[in-house]
Amino acid sequence: MKGTLWYTGFDAAGLAEIKEKFEKQLGVPVELEYIEDKSLIGGFIAHIDGVSYDMSFKHRLDNVRAALHDKTGDIPDRKAADSGDLETDSNILSGRLSKMQFGGENPADGGVDESIRPLVLLPKRLSKLKFSGEVYVYGTVTSAGDGIIQVDGLSGRRYGELLHLSGGATAMALEIDGDHVGAAVLSGDPEVDEQVTGSGHVIEVPVGDSLLGRVLTPTGEPLDGEDAPVCSAHRPIESPAPKIMQRKAVSRPIQTGLISIDSMIPIGRGQRELIIGDRQTGKTTIAIDTILNQKGQDVICVYCAIGQKASTVAEVVDTLKKNSAMDYTVVVSSPASDLPAMQYIAPYAACAIAEGFMYSGRDVLVVYDDLSKHAVAYRAISLLLHRPPGREAYPGDVFYLHSRLLERSAQLSDEEGGGSLTALPIIETMAGDISAYIPTNVISITDGQIFLESELFHSGMRPAVNVGLSVSRVGRSAQRAAMRKVTGTLRLDLAQYREMSVFMQFGADVDSATKNMLENGIRKNELLKQPKHAPYSLAQEVCLLLAADNGIYGKVPTDKVGELSACLLAEIQSTAPDQLANIERRYDFDDDSKSYLLRIMNRAADKFAASL
Ligand code: ATP
Ligand code: MG
């Protein structure tokens, strides 16, 4: 029998003894190839005739780590494990350790806790072996290429399980057919005939506060040149969405800082709002502005870049750093140069990191930029695994791909800690076609969409939000009272203006009432324009909308609206900063404040108009 032995800390005599022991117990001569591997810390791993004998310290430590941290996403257990209570932690640890009987190879008689070790599946003839360690089956790579491996002889694996290859590569099991496993390569360059073992668990990411400010791969490796983050907790990248009884209604807003969105398409904490549009229409900018606007709002942000150029991601990180937004942000990136499997797991990993915060009672915002590229990566994997291609060559489960991701967004109930996970998925359309396969899928999964148009973008309307096609199905109930008071007719005014402006293109003569309405529409449209990375606070938005609602912008020509906005805000900031602070604190304003603010703004607008 031939086999391989990875070891550390044994001399020649020790190795000979191990060989002898194997020969005695297997009853046949064994020929071993010896490979020293310091990463085992101590002990050895032997692969002999389809069975792996793991007696390494590393494996035992992994088991202890796994025992300490919940791997199921089950909340009560997680709370106990994360309690920070030393006594609870040590109780769990000693409980789990006492169950770990390294001497028993058969789970039925060893009293071994199944949840903390890989499934033990032994051929019958080996079941009498007495070994102090982990004994399980390994498989052999039969084909490798295009980021996909096929493995034979590997039984007892589960979907999404992390597989280790003897050459150091890792892969994710995606196709399981008896003891045949099809897997997508995550890292390394596997070759035919390499040996493969299952890890017994799905891929995990570290979670916790030490991730803040970091740029990571979907498996939690650092991309920012610093040391790997030290986290005491891990979460599987896939876990079930919170159940209905664990949730409550969305009732608080996430302010994007963009007037057009906060006023007409408000987003609530726990909501899923799609940002959809052609390429280069400002999709990423809206998401980044929203992250910038969370400064001081006690919201953790996770930005997940999927299949983008590394330089684009670097620019985003740079913007976040310059605006000191990295303090509360984690970036997960799988650039276009990554293997499709890495791009495929990226949003799930980002979601798991976000869940870590949500389940500890925090509010989290996650941006998936973008899910079109995610679907393309999954299509590539599926086609290479020979799954039948469906519409647009996507596999049949492409809807589930995104639904199971977005269902994990939630506003948790008070009993669950009241945390929330708001998702801003991004989808790129081709020539504005929102009826293509992936866009319609994601539209139907989300609670609304912000539709961006190339035409608007190029005509200078930025952010290029098409107000007519954009909706938010649940956000209205989360909108702040102050905002609700000032947005009454905005959407209607803009719709009327758009209708009428079509007539104007033909040079039609219009009466003065229509002319007024048009001018009013133009000014409101101008008000919605905003430069990038300059989000407004809630109070600022409320003041500007109040001014627009009360005709203050009518005092200046239509091309001076932007300048007047800046002038009004500067005036309020210098003469009545307490009014702004009040709105920020109470999310509302009374009639006295309203008339006071209008008086200040009218005076400032008169002065500004006179100076023109
Ligand atoms: P892609 O499809 O390439 O991902 P995108 O839709 O994410 O593009 P962005 O990268 O956000 O678009 O923006 C495209 C360009 O438009 C960028 O150069 C950005 O700086 C600019 N831009 C976006 N929004 C604004 C804005 N409000 N004001 C000025 N420039 C903007
Ligand atoms: Mg983009």
H-type helices in 385-431, by residue range?
A: 398-406
Hey, what long-range contacts does 93-98 have (CB within 8 A, 24 or more apart)?
93/64, 93/67, 93/68, 96/64, 96/67, 96/68, 97/64, 97/67
Residue 498: band (very low, low, confident or very high) from pLDDT cuts 50, 70, 90: confident
With tokens 């102090």, the residue in question is 132
- Cα angle 297, 298, 304 (rounded to 5 degrees) comes to 100
Residue 53: band (very low, low, confident or very high) from pLDDT cuts 50, 70, 90: confident
Whole-number Å distance, alpha carbon 486 to ligand 1 midpoint, is 29
Q: What is the mean pLDDT of the chain?
A: 88
Whether residue 64 is predicted with pLDDT greater than 50 in this model: the reply is yes
Contact by Cβ (8 Å): 217, 330 = no
- For ligand 2, a single-atom ion, which residues have Cβ within 5 Å? 284
Residue 115: band (very low, low, confident or very high) from pLDDT cuts 50, 70, 90: very low
pLDDT of residue 89: 54
For the record, the structure tokens of 121 come out as 């599946």
pLDDT of residue 67: 67
Which of the listed residues 284, 318, 536 should we mutate to test ligand 1's pocket, taking the one with most ligand atoms within 8 A of CB?
284
For 172-206, give the DSSP string: EEEEEETTEEEEEEEES---TT-EEEEEEEE-EEE
CA-to-CA distance for 99 and 357, rounded, in angstroms? 31
Ligand 1 atom with the shortest distance to the CA of 285: 11
Name the residue with higher pLDDT: 125 or 361: 361
**Which among 199, 239, 202, 246 has a CA at the least distance from the CA of 72?**
239
What's the whole-number mean pLDDT along residues 571-596?
95
Residue type at 449 in one-letter notation: Q
Percent of the chain with pLDDT over 90: 69
Instruction: Return the minimum-mean-pLDDT range out of 68-77, 439-448, 510-519, 589-598.
Output: 68-77
pLDDT of residue 90: 59
Whether residue 391 is predicted with pLDDT greater than 50 in this model: the reply is yes
Whole-number Å distance, alpha carbon 454 to ligand 2 midpoint, is 13
What's the whole-number mean pLDDT along residues 389-413?
96
pLDDT tens-digit readout, 78-112: 333 444 445 555 565 555 555 444 333 333 333 33
pLDDT of residue 187: 93
Residue 339: band (very low, low, confident or very high) from pLDDT cuts 50, 70, 90: very high
Q: Which bound ligand lies closest to the C-alpha atom of 450?
A: 1
CA-to-CA distance for 237 and 333, rounded, in angstroms? 15
What's the whole-number mean pLDDT along residues 560-567?
95
CA-to-CA distance for 394 and 378, rounded, in angstroms? 8
Residue type at 291 in one-letter notation: I
Which residue owns the Cα nearest ligand 1 atom 12?
282
- Cα 485 to Cα 411, 482, 550, 579: the distances in Å are 25, 5, 12, 16
Which of the listed residues 280, 333, 451 should we mutate to test ligand 1's pocket, taking the one with most ligand atoms within 8 A of CB?
280
Ligand 1 atom with the shortest distance to the CA of 452: 6
Whether residue 52 is predicted with pLDDT greater than 90 in this model: the reply is no
**Which among 439, 442, 465, 437 has a CA at the least distance from the CA of 452?**
465
H-type helices in 140-282, by residue range?
A: 259-264
Contact by Cβ (8 Å): 231, 206 = yes
Whole-number Å distance, alpha carbon 419 to ligand 2 midpoint, is 28
Name the residue with higher pLDDT: 25 or 244: 244
**Catalytic annotation, pick one of 96, 252, 473, 491:** 473
Which residue owns the Cα nearest ligand 1 atom 13?
282
| Angle (deg, nearest 10), helices 561-575 and 591-610 | 130
pLDDT of residue 200: 83
Whether residue 600 is predicted with pLDDT greater than 80 in this model: the reply is yes
Residue type at 342 in one-letter notation: M
**Neighbouring residues of 275: CB distance < 8 A, sequence distance ≥ 6:** 283, 286, 287, 424, 425, 426, 427, 449, 450, 452
How far, in whole angstroms, is CA 31 from its chain's centroid? 48
Residue 244: φ, ψ to 5°: -60, -40
Q: How many CB atoms lie within 10 A of CB 474?
A: 19
Whole-number Å distance, alpha carbon 284 to ligand 2 midpoint, is 4
Q: Is 586 a catalytic residue?
A: no
Ligand 1 atom with the shortest distance to the CA of 277: 6
Secondary element (H or E) of residue 467? none
Contact by Cβ (8 Å): 120, 135 = yes
CA-to-CA distance for 254 and 474, rounded, in angstroms? 12
Q: Which bound ligand lies closest to the C-alpha atom of 286?
A: 1
Which of the listed residues 260, 281, 285, 429 should we mutate to test ligand 1's pocket, taking the one with most ligand atoms within 8 A of CB?
285
- Cα angle 158, 163, 2 (rounded to 5 degrees) comes to 115
Ligand 1 atom with the shortest distance to the CA of 288: 11
With tokens 């310059």, the residue in question is 322
Whether residue 71 is predicted with pLDDT greater than 70 in this model: the reply is no
pLDDT of residue 125: 38
- Cα angle 529, 533, 536 (rounded to 5 degrees) comes to 65
Residue 507: band (very low, low, confident or very high) from pLDDT cuts 50, 70, 90: low
For the record, the structure tokens of 589 come out as 């304003």
Whole-number Å distance, alpha carbon 238 to ligand 2 midpoint, is 25
| Ligand 1 interacting residues, C-beta cut-off 6 A | 277, 279-285, 428, 462-463, 530-532
**Neighbouring residues of 335: CB distance < 8 A, sequence distance ≥ 6:** 305, 307, 308, 309, 310, 313
DSSP 8-state assignment for residue 227: P
Whole-number Å distance, alpha carbon 313 to ligand 2 midpoint, is 9
For the record, the structure tokens of 233 come out as 């907790």
Whether residue 578 is predicted with pLDDT greater than 80 in this model: the reply is yes
pLDDT tens-digit readout, 240-265: 999 999 999 999 999 999 999 999 99
For the record, the structure tokens of 345 come out as 């797991």
CA-to-CA distance for 549 and 500, rounded, in angstroms? 20
Residue type at 605 in one-letter notation: A
What's the whole-number mean pLDDT along residues 478-483?
95
pLDDT of residue 361: 96
**Neighbouring residues of 429: CB distance < 8 A, sequence distance ≥ 6:** 276, 277, 278, 436, 439
pLDDT of residue 575: 95
CA-to-CA distance for 475 and 411, rounded, in angstroms? 12
Please give the sequence-ordered ranges of beta strands (E in DSSP) within 429-480, or none if there are none: 448-452, 471-472
CA-to-CA distance for 469 and 453, rounded, in angstroms? 10
Contact by Cβ (8 Å): 35, 65 = no
Which residue owns the Cα nearest ligand 1 atom 8?
280
Ligand 1 atom with the shortest distance to the CA of 308: 4
